Amino acid sequence: MPADVRVRTDAACPKHMEYGPCGGVGFDGSCEIDAALPCPFVAVETVRWHGVVASRAPRTADPVPPSAPAPGAARVRSLLGIRRIVVADLPARALDARSIEECITAMAGPVDAVLSGDAGPARVQFAPTYRARLIADAGMIPFIGLNCRDRNRVALEGELAGLAHAGAGAVHCVTGDHTETGSRPDTRPVFDIDSTQLAALAREAGHLVSVGESPTTPPVDRRAARLREKERAGAQLCFVNHCGGAAPVAAFIAEARALGSQVDFLPCIPVVLDAGSAALLRTFTTLVLPPGYVEAILAADDPREAGITAAVALSAEMLAIDGVVGVNLSGGAAPGREVAHARDLAEIARRLEGHR
């Protein structure tokens, strides 16, 4: 792609992305922060991986020491060599170490790892490295989400180095929602780099690198191609965002494989157990669920049991797809129900034992 096209998209994107688009594009192709603003990446061809491009010419940059493979990454690779895994979104309260420990204790055993990243309703959280240490100390493998909204490249490189020592099993690289969405519009965004560039830095730092992709978000016909470029940068795992069920996931994986992708896939499974968890799930950007999924659960005599049963059934369908190495139990807890939600996640994982 010509350099002038990259400059124009970078200048037009509120996140200054080099490798767009992000997962927040509206279904009509609009920007996540302004419905009247079209995403500049939707109308251009997929940006090919050409390295971590500095926005300004460097003077004298501090060198980043060579990295060895992170011990946590080796642990996850070993586990994936034995069976498919269950990764659950961590339902703990933000800035609450005791809540993290209680939730991990409730999930330990059936659940293999927890994904702890950024949540729009709780933008002020413990630093990623500290969260990883708390999770690891409580006895669980941490998959840590790292976003480009809140830290510049130097700070991200520091977090990546710290995460290797803190026991992170994988680093999930995301560009991040803009600060004008979520709970902290009063803060200034950073976006020094984007998720594709962060994936390259994470791989160089010795991590097992995961990224997300949204098959139903424009440009739908080029989402697999964008994943391929993230893979060229360093991604090894792909969390497939909610896209309507097993058939769309299978189609997306097939498209990625046709382009030469070798990444492993973990589809997101919507976990709805009550009205509170349903409301939280609906805050997810460009959410596409199987038709009637939430409505059927909430209308059941026992929504909790109906939600567990639905999550198990959908997970089993996903695990039958070639290329799927696990599932992500996705969503969150209603306020005050964090530990109970964690127990329910463990129950879902327990019922999946025969499918793993």
Classify residue 38 as left (phi > 0), alpha (psi -120 to 50) or beta.
beta
Cα separation, 283 vs 277, whole angstroms: 10
Residue 288, domain CATH: 3.20.20.220
**pLDDT 10s digits, 194-227:** 999 999 999 999 999 999 999 999 999 999 999 9
Q: Sign (positive/negative) of CA torsion 331, 198, 95, 98?
A: positive
What pLDDT does 122 receive? 64
With respect to residue 120, please indicate whether it lies within any of the assigned structural domains.
yes
**Which DSSP category does 39 fall into?**
-
Q: Which of 3, 27, 41, 63 is nearest to 286 (CA)?
A: 27
For 173, the enclosing helix (H) or strand (E) is strand 170-174
- Could you tell me the pTM of the whole model? 0.94
**Residue 8 scores a pLDDT above 50:** no
Could you tell me the two tokens for 23?
């997962």
35 part of a folded domain: no
Say how far apart CA 262 and CA 52 lie, in whole Å: 22
Structural domain containing residue 137: 69-355
Residues 21, 164: Cα–Cα separation, whole Å: 28
DSSP 312-326: HHHHHHHHTSTTB-E
Mean pLDDT (the chain) is 92
In a domain, 105, yes or no: yes
Total structural domains within the chain: 1
Within 10 angstroms of residue 85's Cβ, the number of other Cβ atoms is 22
Domain for residue 285, yes or no? yes
Is residue 198 within 8 A of residue 235, CB to CB? The reply is no
Give residue-wise pLDDT tens across range 285-316.
889 999 999 999 999 999 999 999 999 999 99
Per-residue pLDDT tens digits for 45-83? 999 999 997 655 566 667 777 777 889 999 999 999 999
Q: Is the dihedral of CA 113, 233, 25, 243 positive or negative?
A: negative
Of 67, 235, 54, which Cα lies nearest the Cα of 162? 67
Structural domain includes residue 51: no
Is residue 269 situated within a structural domain? yes
Collapsing DSSP states into helix, strand and coil, what is residue 228?
helix
Question: Over 50: is that where the pLDDT of 6 sits?
Answer: no
Nearest one of 318, 319, 306, 317 to 347, comparing CA atoms: 306
Asked whether residue 128 is assigned to any structural domain, the reply reads: yes
Q: How confident is the model at residue 260 (pLDDT cuts 50, 70, 90)?
A: very high
Residue 109: its H or E element: none
Distance CA 205, CA 65 (A): 9
Helices and strands: H and E segment counts in the chain: 12, 10
List, in order, residues 6 or more apart from 160 with CB less than 8 Å away. Answer: 146, 171, 201, 202, 205, 207
Q: Please compute, for residue 38, the number of CA atoms within 13 A of its CA located in the half-sphere on the CB side.
A: 10
Q: Looking at the domain assignment, is residue 31 inside a domain?
A: no
Question: With contact defined as beta carbons under 8 Å apart, do 100 and 134 qualify?
Answer: yes
